Amino acid sequence: MVALTDLDVSRWDRAWPPLPYLFILLPAAFALLRDWRPEVLALALLAGAWHWFMVTSHPGWTERPAVKIIYFVVMLAVIGALVRTDTLFTVTGLGAFFQSFTLLPGRWAYAGVAATAGVLVAARPGLGRPLSEMLYSFLVAVLIASTVGLLIRTVSDQNDNRKVMIAQLKETGAKLAALAEDNAILQAQLLTRAREAGALGERQRMAREIHDTIAQGLTAVLTQLEAADSMVEDVPAVRSRLNTVRTLARDSLNEARRSVQALRPAPLDDAQLAAALHDIATKWSQTTGTPASVSVTGDPRPLHVEVEITLLRVAQEALTNVGKHASATRVGLTLSYMEDVVALDVRDDGSGFTPEATGSSNAGGFGLIAMRQRVTRLAGAFAIETAPGQGTGISATVPAIPATSDSGSSNHSRNAL
């Protein structure tokens, strides 16, 4: 049920309750000015008091059908007495016509009109009037009053419909405003979550960069220092190891700077991916003493920066894991250029491991996770084939996204650093 406020009350709703006072006051004033009669004043005051008591002071009573009928019967009796006293009070009967359509529901309104017309015709003085004239007056009064009342009822119904429609529009507007507020809150939450997701992704990217560059380089430095410790008496060998340490430390420092500036890794500045893999494998073999071969199949071509970086990092991490855990005698890297994808396979003949036993709590486990995250970030596929005593094979396949002009221009800017 739609609630209506005071602002929704029409002018007719405010006008009809006091309207009967006007129809009583005007004829009473003229009648008393013409001929002062106490009974006219008494009957006029009685009509006004009755309307005030039943309608004005108790508006809720008019909602009860029995009270409406009692009010109307008494009012018609008083009007009949007034008309009998002075025909000027026929005007008061016009007010009763309006009251019929305002107070009485449905067909009862027309019954009220007929009753009012009958009282007005019957109460008029003049016993010599023929019955046909009285009947004619009655019918004309009923017809005119019913027509006017029908118009009043139509306007009133339209007014009620308008009030309901306005209330519904207000309710709909309030719902739309609440919905807009909810949408604004939801949008703010989505933006907050997007920022949080972006920050989390950036932290993961920095963790991978630090692990793939600084951590690997420092691991190699520690390995060389341990080897140098065992050769303290062999000065030339110590000098050679220390030179290697310097080279690794310098390369690691350059990689750290490049990671912070979000630049491509050093091996890709002046070489394509295949040549960069050859260079990394050669340096790794010199450092570990384990031979590493690189083979390329398909038609080598420049790829997007992110594709080349991803495959290069996978190769670096895989070689680091082989050097730390596999105890392998040889390693093979295969770079395969295909029509839509490019694949990198790294296989060794080392000790292997059980994949389920490798967690993220150790370096090797984090390395595998970092490799998988890098590959899947490019909508690629990452697979591990290994078993205890049977070596390990790592395969990374990513879309062969071609290099763009932006990549070339960015290389020139990096070479200038």
Tell me the pLDDT tens digit for each residue of 390-405.
Answer: 899 999 999 998 876 4
Whether the per-residue pLDDT at 285 is higher than 80: the answer is yes
State the average pLDDT over residues 23-30: 82
Which tokens is 56 given? 């004005």
pLDDT at residue number 132: 63
Looking at per-residue pLDDT, the higher value among 259 and 64 belongs to 64
Ranked by mean pLDDT, which of 145-154, 277-286, 347-356 comes out on top?
277-286
Task: Read off the pLDDT of residues 136-170 as tens digits, 9 standing for 90 and up.
Answer: 566 666 666 666 666 666 766 777 788 888 888 88
**pTM for this prediction:** 0.42
Is 253's pLDDT higher than 90? no
Query: So what's the pLDDT on residue 347?
Result: 94
pLDDT band (50, 70, 90) for residue 361? very low
Extract the runs of DSSP E, i.e. beta strands, from 107-238.
none
Task: In whole angstroms, give the CA distance from residue 215 to residue 316.
Answer: 11
* Spatial CB neighbours of 72, under 8 Å, sequence gap ≥ 6: 96, 99, 100, 103, 104, 112, 115
pLDDT category, 230, cuts 50, 70, 90?
low
**Cα gap 116→104, rounded to integer Å:** 13
Residue ranges and CATH numbers for the domains of the chain are 6-174 (no CATH), 263-415 (3.30.565.10)
Q: pLDDT tens across 39-97, in order?
A: 888 888 888 888 788 877 777 777 777 787 787 788 888 888 888 887 777 777 777 77
The residue among 63, 70, 150, 58 whose CA lies nearest residue 113 is 150
- Given this model, what pLDDT does residue 246 score? 66
The answer to whether 159 and 10 are in contact (CB under 8 A) is yes
